[in-house]
Amino acid sequence: MYEKEIVAVILYTSLFFILLAVGLIVFFYFSRKRIIEKELEKKDLEIQFKQDQIQAVILTQEEERKRIAQDLHDDISSKLNVVALNSHLLNSPNLSVNEVQEITQNIIDLTGKALDSSRKIAHGLLPPVLEKFGLHAGVEELCLEFSNSKAVKVNYSCRTEFNIAENDCHLHVFRILQELMNNSLRHGKATKIAILFEEIDNKKQCTYSDNGIGFLMHNSENMKGLGMKNIESRIAFLKGTIDIKSAPNEGVIIIFNFE
Ligand SMILES: Nc1ncnc2c1ncn2[C@@H]1O[C@H](COP(=O)(O)OP(=O)(O)OP(=O)(O)O)[C@@H](O)[C@H]1O
Ligand SMILES: [Mg+2]
């Protein structure tokens, strides 16, 4: 009788431990599966995000090319066409002195205009001040251009220095500010913009704000543009981070840093 009880106790205890072991194995198996699924989901989202960024870059490049092609066609080719026509006219026989003078003046005016246009297009592609004197001077000029439009007052200050050798990277910062300022005017109807560069923990930081109508963050309507996507990919390229804060009627505050 006593022996039977001992056998039963051993049996039940072993059964209990076997069940516990099976339970633990099943538990670990499913929780591990869940973790792996979560990680895969995260990776999928990251891949999707990168694909969106690449697509945004490609689309912007195409739009930029279209714009340059249009500018070249409308502002330069058309003028050079008329210059060519006028130059041929100069070869016509029996032209009076007045006519020659008129045609020559026409040619001078048109080539002047074509030169102006080509300068404007080149400026848009790579602002010469930025290239020659660095980010600070480039942003100063950009702010002046916006302030001169009288639609907005720009307050710019720079409490750090930029090494001109890193101009290639700084061009990204310049483009980010260009996009932010365009957005502030176009969407925010802002009348004031503030830009501050400073150095925090060995990183350059830019604080950008406007007093415009702001926007609802996380509203999918606000995620449709290419501008913000491009800004994100430029920040990723600069190995920096960006923090965007906005709410209706509270303007925007954007803080980003870069190396
Ligand atoms: N400073 C701002 N004030 C108010 N709304 C803004 C501001 N910046 C961005 N937005 C909102 O966020 C949206 C997305 O901006 P984004 O620059 O990505 O696209 P977009 O300017 O509409 O188009 P794109 O830049 O491609 O020409 C805008 O359509 C606008 O609704
Ligand atoms: Mg935009």
pLDDT score, position 23: 96
> Ligand 1 centre from 38 Cα, in Å?
32
Q: Do 141 and 253 belong together in one domain?
A: yes
Closest residue by Cα to atom 31, ligand 1, is: 222
Q: Do 196 and 81 belong together in one domain?
A: no
pLDDT score, position 3: 85
Q: Do 132 and 252 belong together in one domain?
A: yes
User: Among residues 124, 153, 183, which one ends one of the domains?
Assistant: 124
For a mutational test of ligand 1's pocket, the pick from 59, 154, 187, i.e. the residue with the most ligand atoms closer than 8 A to its C-beta, is 187
How many domains is the chain partitioned into structurally?
Answer: 2
Q: Do 183 and 198 belong together in one domain?
A: yes
Q: Do 237 and 152 belong together in one domain?
A: yes
> Which atom of ligand 1 is nearest to 229's Cα?
18
User: Among residues 104, 124, 144, which one ends one of the domains?
Assistant: 124
Q: Do 116 and 141 belong together in one domain?
A: no
pLDDT score, position 174: 96
> Ligand 1 centre from 148 Cα, in Å?
22
> Ligand 2 centre from 179 Cα, in Å?
6
Closest residue by Cα to atom 23, ligand 1, is: 225
> Which atom of ligand 1 is nearest to 189's Cα?
3
Q: Do 54 and 108 belong together in one domain?
A: yes
Q: How many residues does the chain have?
A: 259
Return the CATH number at 248. 3.30.565.10
> Ligand 1 centre from 58 Cα, in Å?
18
> Ligand 1 centre from 210 Cα, in Å?
13
Q: Do 168 and 248 belong together in one domain?
A: yes
Q: Do 117 and 139 belong together in one domain?
A: no
pLDDT score, position 7: 92
Which residues form the domain of 139?
128-258
pLDDT score, position 223: 66
Closest residue by Cα to atom 13, ligand 1, is: 222
Residues with CB under 6 A from ligand 1: 183-184, 187-188, 210, 212-215, 222, 225-228, 252
Q: Do 164 and 77 belong together in one domain?
A: no
Q: Do 119 and 150 belong together in one domain?
A: no
Q: Do 22 and 44 belong together in one domain?
A: yes
Closest residue by Cα to atom 19, ligand 1, is: 225
User: Among residues 105, 124, 143, which one ends one of the domains?
Assistant: 124
Per-10-residue mean pLDDT, the chain, length 259: 87 95 96 96 93 87 90 91 93 90 95 92 88 94 92 96 92 95 95 97 96 86 78 91 94 95
